[in-house]
Structure 1
């Protein structure tokens, strides 16, 4: 299952207990309720009907479906401007804001490749990021994992907001992850993951420091060497 049907299942589950934590593994230290205050705040229909990202790219169907139910969760993660528009950041801006300015510079070479990014709930030492790139066959954009624990790392964790949302809600049986990019081999979601791998990382699932040896670095900066992408244990 993909897209809107999958997202609608999440919405139905959240409706039953909107105040429940979206990230129960962080309790009791951090509480991230699906719906703050237990009362959903949908995006007005007339606004949602015309909504696009600042680049002009369309919203993925799953995100449109979720925003029809609630905006409060994403608002807490800085998705919107004061007047209600979308407020994307480039990948290096996200890294700097979330992890500290020191870490932003190593990701600056990807700023034009990932100019529209949005932080999502998830991770402890890591971050989940929706990157507005080329959509897959479902009209969805990839969700990336950012991790700086060992070496700076960015990889494709989910093929779209739909799968991210359903997995976060505990509705999918995806098995225990060994790396962030395990879904690349998944029977249902692997084809979408592989499409994003081509668009995002020149066919690899991730980039890991030193970035100069990544295929996508060679693609964006001709003349540099290449090595295969690597996985990273999720946390």
Structure 2
């Protein structure tokens, strides 16, 4: 069985980018107040009321504070709703992006002891955003070099045994599709989508950009 079992797309292109994001939006819109996930702090609803789209004018010219472009999936999601990501600290009250370095985000989530381990890789993960997911671990989108669809990778941060950062999704599009139930990932390790025919190429692209071809890196504090 492939790691990702989709509700069949109408064409191969529907498995990526804006088309896949549209499918995730349709899934959420069908039951917008259902829990994002069924555990921990992520058990809140996708939408707390009506969708809160980002205004078309500001969205049209939006870039990240680094100047990096928004991935197509994020641009499409924000046209549907900005409320979810605002709740998880992506945006301030004026709709401006509020990224953190990986070290800053990890300290906020894990505390100084474990969070400081991720300071050593913060120079490569300087613009990060928290996503729902994980019990003791966390899900983080990090901007950088986009893949063939213009998407940035989503990583798992784990502090079990040796803290590490591991590639988990090739983009927000695939994260949203999995979390909303459009695809089902048969997890066998965080980076299992590297073995999926639909997503292996994109996973390998990000692995090359970030880890020199691997899928994870241990994060040990400077001594």
Is TM (by shorter chain) over 0.5?
A: yes
Q: Which runs of 4+ in 1 moved over 6 A?
A: none
1:162-181 paired onto structure 2 within 5 Å: 162-174=173-185, 176-181=186-191
TM-score by length of 1: 0.85
- In structure 1, how many angstroms separate the alpha carbons of the residues matched to 2:103 and 2:220? 16
**1:94, CA displacement in angstroms?**
0.6
Unpaired segments ≥5 residues, structure 1: 213-235
Assess, with a 3 A threshold, how the Cα gap between structure 1 residues 134 and 30 changes in structure 2: closer, same or farther. closer
Alignment length, in residue pairs?
208
In structure 2, the partner of 1:224 is: none
1:4 to 5, 15, 18: 18
**1:195, CA displacement in angstroms?**
0.5
1:12-27 paired onto structure 2 within 5 Å: 12-24=26-38, 26=39
2:133 to 122, 129, 133: 122
Q: Contact 2:24–2:177 (CA<8 Å) still a contact in 1?
A: yes
In structure 1, the partner of 2:158 is: 147
Q: Contact 2:138–2:158 (CA<8 Å) still a contact in 1?
A: yes
- In structure 1, how many angstroms separate the alpha carbons of the residues matched to 2:42 and 2:113? 25
- In structure 2, how many angstroms separate the alpha carbons of the residues matched to 1:183 and 1:31? 24
In structure 1, the partner of 2:207 is: 197
Q: Contact 2:21–2:176 (CA<8 Å) still a contact in 1?
A: yes
**1:209, CA displacement in angstroms?**
4.6
Q: What is the DSSP-based 3-state SS (H/G/I as helix, E as strand, rest coil) of the residue aligned with 1:154?
A: strand
Q: Does 1:65 align with 2:79?
A: no
TM-score by length of 2: 0.89
Q: Contact 2:54–2:95 (CA<8 Å) still a contact in 1?
A: no
Assess, with a 3 A threshold, how the Cα gap between structure 1 residues 78 and 71 changes in structure 2: closer, same or farther. same
Alignment root-mean-square deviation, CA: 1.6
